[in-house]
Amino acid sequence: MSFRIGFGYDVHRFGKNRKLILGGVSINYEYGLLGHSDADCLTHAICDALIGALGYGDIGELFPDTDPKYKDIKSLFFLSRIKELINEAGFEVINIDATVVMQEPKIAPYKKAMEKNIANALKINPEKINIKASTTEFLGFEGRKEGVSAYAVAMLEEANYGRIW
């Protein structure tokens, strides 16, 4: 069997008049994240981890922010398309581990819903996804409440569709 591991990272700054979307979940907060799409920092990091495991570049190459068709699009769409690429390449998702870094708001109440949304977009069991949260103890841009960063790793395995050997 062949395994592939990918790493993803994303960052977005806070802004007014935007919703805070992480893992496809709308979180009640005074600020949202700025970006061309819905600026879902967590989903973007996961996208990059999966794209990296495939060796297909990065999210900006596949879904450029200069393309008007991606303006304000839900980032879970990107995951659905990446799932198609994973299938076409003959792989399946083994697991995803991700960390959201922000001082506030706390995301503990939303983590299971995020895992479910991501799993649904990828058509996998939510148990294959783990989302964690961390603060920076008031250090850096996250600690100053200027934005959010997210890190993700993903493991893919070559699909064994009924092979006998």
| pTM: predicted TM-score of the whole model, two decimal places | 0.95
Q: How far apart are the first and last CA of the chain?
A: 10
**Mean pLDDT confidence for 100-111:** 97
- For 18, half-sphere exposure in the C-beta direction (CA atoms, 13 angstrom radius) is 20
Residue 118: φ, ψ to 5°? -65, -45
> In the prediction, which pLDDT does 160 show?
76
> In the prediction, which pLDDT does 1 show?
66
Q: How far apart are CA 138 and CA 104, in angstroms?
A: 10
Superfamily of domain 3-158: 2-C-methyl-D-erythritol 2,4-cyclodiphosphate synthase (3.30.1330.50)
Q: How far apart are CA 140 and CA 144, in angstroms?
A: 6
Structural domain boundaries in the chain:
3-158
The model's confidence at residue 87, banded by pLDDT at 50, 70 and 90, is very high
In percent, the amount of the chain with pLDDT more than 70 equals 96
pLDDT digits (tens, 9 = 90+) for 11-22: 999 999 999 999
Q: How far apart are CA 47 and CA 76, in angstroms?
A: 9
The model's confidence at residue 165, banded by pLDDT at 50, 70 and 90, is very low
The pLDDT mean for the chain works out to 95
Pairing relationship of beta strands 20-22 and 3-15 according to DSSP bridges: unpaired
- CB distance 39 to 32 below 8 Å: yes
